[in-house]
Amino acid sequence: MSRVQSTFWMAALAVACVSTPALADNTQADIRRLQDQIDSLKAEIAGEPARSLSLPRLAVFGKVSVDAIYDDRNAGLDELLIPSTIPMRDNEQQNFVLHGKNSQLGVRVGDESGPHVVFAADLFGSIDSYELRVRDFYYKRGGFQAGYGYTKLLDGAAWPLTLDAQGPNSAIFARQAGVSWQGDNLFVAIEDPNSEIYDPQNNSSAAGRRPDVIVGWQQSLSFGHARLGMVSREIGVELANGDQQFAQAGGAVLSGAINAGQSLRLLASASAGKGFAHYYNDLSGFGDGGMDGYVFVDGLEALETTGGYLGAEWQVAKDWTLASVAGQIDIESDDRLPDDAMRRSRYGTLSLVYQHTPRLSYGAETSYGMRDNQAGERAEVPRVQLNFTYRFLHENRN
């Protein structure tokens, strides 16, 4: 080996010996820095909740309900007490039925305190069989609601307790498509007009040019609440020849509830209007439904209606509630109307309900329905009903 080569390798060895401690120090520093970063990340992760797949709040709700009903006379419908359907003659037939049509199933997607969608149905879709009937299908966010459901005229907080799934004849009740807004007190809505017209020739169909417009005010009180709702509407028909006829209509309802003590609650509703029958529980699509107006020889006219009910709920013991309601509807008397058209209906119930658990209840009820026609004839039906109901609610907790 030459002197030059020896000198080179000796120099390289010297450099390596000098640089090795420096490289080792740098490597150790990098390792410590990385370890500090790992420890910092671990601390952040430990302070945060575990992350999982975020799903919308989902609730499944409803009830299983079974009713045993006995009628001393023909009530028209076996499962519901609707006075406008009571036959006027030959109604001496007795009847017993056991049914579960008031069982319900619903789904809510989203939290009730935020935007959510609700779909609910029962089994009253057919008179003769069990078929689904949509009760609700709407979107709701805050005070805004759009879809299919109860009319905004309905005062749910003043709805009387009955085991009869239909409820008082004179209660304001209709299900229809609409868009509504509810503030602290003021509420407004536009809803499907859905005219129900009596045409003796049966050669016309409902027609509409504008929606029903609803406006009202609800006031909370220290002893209950009061509510006033008004609707402006137009009823109409399209005749077989293509001609259309319309009539201005509207109505108002005043309702409320009073807490008369720790165990007694009083409920009331009073309403009146012209072309307003569609909004009554007894007349919306049943029996004498079609009393918004009548197609007389000289054209369509809106008919006047008035109605109301008084109700009470008394908690007689910790788990026992005694309830009663009496209601009446009157339709104007007019010699031009057919003799068999409805003039008046009445409805009454006396109910006793035992709340066995928060979900399970039993009850017994005696009820009465009456129908008068324009000719002055009267039909009456007493009814006895027993009920078993189990309610359920299941929701995720995401």
What is the pLDDT at residue 119? 98
Three-point CA angle 306, 309, 310, nearest 5°: 150
Domain boundaries, the chain: 1-51, 62-395
Specify the pTM: 0.83
**Cα radius of gyration rounded to whole Å, the chain:** 35
Instruction: State the CB neighbour count (10 A cutoff) for residue 90.
Output: 9
Encoded tokens for 71: 């009628």
* Cross-strand bridge partners of residue 250: 232, 274
Domain 62-395 has CATH 2.40.160.10: yes
pLDDT, residue 348, reads 98
- Going by C-alpha positions, the residue among 177, 178, 171, 162 that lies closest to residue 102 is 162
Helices (H), the chain: 3-46
The per-residue pLDDT for 206 is 86
Report pLDDT for 13.
44
pLDDT in tens, the chain (398 residues): 454 455 444 544 444 444 445 545 566 766 777 677 777 766 666 665 555 556 788 999 999 999 999 999 999 899 999 999 999 887 788 999 999 999 999 999 999 889 999 999 999 988 888 999 999 999 999 999 999 999 999 999 999 999 999 999 999 999 999 999 999 999 999 999 989 998 888 777 888 899 999 999 999 999 999 999 999 999 999 988 888 999 999 999 999 999 998 899 999 999 999 999 999 999 876 655 689 999 998 889 999 999 999 999 999 999 999 999 999 999 999 999 999 999 999 999 999 999 999 999 999 999 999 999 999 999 999 999 999 999 999 998 76
Number of Cβ atoms within 10 Å of the Cβ of 362: 14
Element (H, E) at 257: strand 244-259
Instruction: Dig out the tokens for 57 from the structure.
Output: 């709040």
Return the HEC string of 97-131: EEECCCCEEEEEECCCCCCEEEEEEECECCCCCCE
C-alpha closest to that of 172 among 256, 241, 55, 47: 256
